[in-house]
Amino acid sequence: MFDSHSFSTKKKKKSYFYNKKLTLNIKILGSNSASPAHGRHPSSQMLELDNSFYMIDCGEGTQFRLIENHLSYQKIEAIFISHLHGDHYLGLIGLLTTMSMNNREKKLDIIAPKGLKEIVDVQCLYSKTILRFPIEFHVIDTLSNQKIWENELMEVFSIPLVHKIETSGFLFKEKPKKRNIIKEKIQLLNIAVEDIIAIKNGADFTDKNGQLHSYESLTYQPHIPKIYAYCSDTEYSEAIIPIVSEIDLLYHEATFMDVHKARAAETKHSTSVQAATIAQKSNVKNLLIGHYSSRYENLDGLLDEAKGVFINTKLALEGDWYSV
């Protein structure tokens, strides 16, 4: 299922957390390219999985988008920066200093191509800023597809992209969850607490009558892990197809309409038709396009072109959640 939601402040919490156990969610904070225009802002997204939050790119003004969308910057566990063009990271130093001024102590992981640590260090140096929380920088090899970060919930892999500078996309892969025990079975079979723990870890269970009950018969099948790929600035490149093949949701930049494909090639960006072609050839389930050129106030043309190639396409609209 591919669903997008626009939540009012009053409805957001109930609607959003109703879905969280079943879905991986993407919040669009910024969807424009290069600079703000037409009420759109530079690139940024928030990924939520099991009430844990991760930022993808951090364009200028991202902390204002967080406030407007009632999202806590203190809950962010990691920030993934695709490349060092300003519209993808210039909001970072402001966000970091705000976190510090509001007494963040928890470590923050920042995953990015080389150079970002030096940029942050020099800004802190000349402003005499001492951050109150530790940052661990993880440098991406932008030429390879490899695991670059993980925690107990997911693994993240790099996606080599082709742009004017070193650029990496990100593949977010949810880790399989353990099967949940069927509550009615606990009472029916008088299963003790220690046996519940063993069953959750894959053990079979023998009841007081000596009857063996298999692990599978005592537990629910967990939902199938979700996969989301974020492909920021890149020219058309079929090299990413094996990496994003058959995933649940692909975000692919679509800076230009097809009529401006020469400009796309010149700037090493993609058109809406090219983004949709990648989705179609990759057999992904759904496509989300964004990173719109400021020349387009109305985005209908971009969407129509993409849907002409790949019908399961949506626009990345700021303020919306997209549930996978």
Of the candidates 87, 195, 233, 320, the residue annotated as catalytic is 87
Amino acid at 249: L
CA 30 – CA 44 distance, rounded (Å): 5
Residue 315: strand pairing partners: 289
Write out the DSSP string of 224-269: PPPEEEEE-S----GGGHHHHTT-SEEEEE--B-GGGHHHHHHHT-
Report the run of H or E that residue 78 belongs to, with start and end. strand 76-80
SS3 66: helix
Instruction: Say how many Å lie between the first and final Cα of the chain, rounded.
Output: 6
- Which residue in this structure is represented by tokens 């959750």? 200
C-alpha 217, offset from chain centre = 35
Answer yes or no: 207 catalytic. Answer: no
Long-range pairs for 261-264 at CB < 8 Å and ≥24 separation?
A: 264/235
Q: Is 215 exposed, middle or buried (0-12, 13-18, 19+ CB in 10 A)?
A: middle
- Which residue in this structure is represented by tokens 């700037």? 267
Question: What residues have CB less than 8 Å from 72, skipping those under 6 apart?
Answer: 53, 66
Active site residues: 87
